[in-house]
Amino acid sequence: MALYVKAAEILEKAERKQGALKTLVYDSKFANIKQLFALVCETQKFSSVLRELIESTKLLKHTKLKMHLAMVLVYDLVMGQGLKCGGSWKSTMLKHRSRLQAELARIKIKQKVSRNEDLLPAVVQRSAVDHLPRYVRVNTLKTTVEDAVDYLKRDGFSYQGQASRLEDLTLKEKDFVRDLHLPEVLVFSPKTDFHDHFLYKAGHVILQDKASCLPAYLLNPPPGSHVIDACAAPGNKTSHLAAIMKNKGKLFAFDLDAKRLATMSTLLLRAGVTCQQLAHQDFLKVDPDSLQYKDVEYILLDPSCSGSGMVCLRDNSSADQEKDQARLTSLASFQLRCLNHGLRFPCLKRLVYSTCSIHSQENEEVVKACLQQNPGFRLVPLLAKWPERGLEPLTQCLRASTSKTRSHGFFVALLEKHSGAGNMNQRPPLQISDPEATSHSSLTCEKRPEASETENKQTPAADSTQTDSTPGKKKRRKRKRKKAATAEG
């Protein structure tokens, strides 16, 4: 029974975005990793079919099982090689086998198919075409990209240089390249396994999808800054922020789930992160005016979302469209609250908002509503050469997808505080193509000027400071001296 309990636990964690399926399996330290991995992958692949079987036979009501445990048991019972457990669980499931088999046969007849594989959603059946590369982020807290490349070459991999186009990411086994957009990301063929590799175990590389590397890379907080990772677990983005900050400054990381924070603490320790301050706390309850956060200038906000961009979760939408829409509405409301809360920190310069969702309701619509409610912030155009943009009119944002960027589905927006809402349309927005070239000193945390100081600043020319050496002031001084001389005479 331990096999099914562990498999159910991993499926639930993957659904909650606590890690990639393969990483969760290998980190579980289960005695028979291959058996566990096969069960988890097959159950996940057929998850939509299994959920339909369980719901239509009311299995949860009859057995008191939880959904993920029921899914792995039902898979092995009616689709796999039979149950690999004994005792009460096996006898309970065998009582329902005939009903489950009959329901599976009914579904096949309804869809006019004869094989289990033909029941899979089209997107899953195309998975061989959609296979994503294996992305590895070099952890610069422990090594350099050059040293990592040299080590991998000595280990039998063949380095093909810097990729220059998306097609270069289609790689043969043992070949690898440096990514064309993110300089600290290396790209390998899809089946490359690093879970037992020295570089992974020593924390020199992080197994992280390319799109997931975008938020920290684009936020780009300088060493010594104070940064918040608002919904931090499982910690890959937190470790990326620490690497960009060179472990200098303060990195506040919040998460509501104590178990996820414990896992995150282990990950950060392996990655060599020392500048973090973890807190088991709801970000929405953090006081922006607290002295502890008075110097926070950068925030990374990656809140809970539908996960619809994750390849492994694509077929998990229910048949009840009304229920799905209600869930999206609830998530979008939560995301907007988080975003508005993040913009309340008084010294904030920049905030990155990201999701692993493909729905505009969680992405562009949330950002649009936030900008309407916070006119002191604007969007920063990102990575001009990135192949997929945000939906009109928010093309400053980035999107990612399996087809256009060879990554999981993702969305990223960068919000920047500007000097004044009145000048918003006159100042051209900053175009980021390389975060290293971005000046961090261009935005400062100052007291907001009183109304009397700003009401006359109507144009950029009027906003510019004039010194005593300007021609206008010299003429005024001459006129004053002449008047004084006349009065004396």
Provide the pLDDT for residue 478: 53
Q: Coil, helix or strand for 135?
A: strand
- What pLDDT, in 10s, does the model give residues 104-154? 888 888 888 888 877 876 555 444 334 789 999 999 999 999 999 999 999
- What pLDDT, in 10s, does the model give residues 211-225? 999 999 999 999 999
Q: Residue 206 gets which letter from DSSP?
A: E
Provide the pLDDT for residue 137: 98
Higher pLDDT among residues 7 and 367, named by residue: 367
Binding site members for S-adenosyl-L-methionine: 231-237, 255, 282, 302
Provide the pLDDT for residue 463: 35
β-pair type (158-162, 175-178): parallel
Place of tokens 């920290």: 216
Res 159 pLDDT > 80? yes
Q: What's the per-residue H, E or C state across 25-46?
A: HHHCCCCCHHHHHHHHHHHHHC
Provide the pLDDT for residue 485: 53
Terminal C-alpha separation, the chain:
110
Average pLDDT estimate for 350-379 = 95
Provide the pLDDT for residue 431: 42
Q: Helix-strand-coil percent breakdown of the chain, rounded to 5?
A: 45, 15, 40
Res 351 pLDDT > 80? yes
Res 295 pLDDT > 90? yes
Res 442 pLDDT > 60? no
Average pLDDT estimate for 300-304 = 94
C-alpha distances out from residue 284 to 238, 288, 337, 388, 448, Å: 18, 10, 8, 31, 24
Which of 442, 363, 439, 350 shows the shortest CA–CA distance to 397?
Answer: 363
Place of tokens 């050469």: 385
Provide the pLDDT for residue 320: 57
Q: What are the residue numbers of the active site?
A: 356
Beginning with the edge strand found earlier in the chain, give each strand of the sheet holding 205-207 in spatial order: 158-162, 175-178, 185-188, 134-138, 205-207
Provide the pLDDT for residue 18: 73
Place of tokens 């240089």: 161
Task: Show the domains of the chain with their CATH numbers.
Answer: 1-120 (no CATH), 131-207 (3.30.70.1170), 210-417 (3.40.50.150)
Joined tokens for residue 126: 């195309």
Provide the pLDDT for residue 62: 86
Provide the pLDDT for residue 122: 59
The values of phi and psi at residue 287, to 5°, are: -85, 110
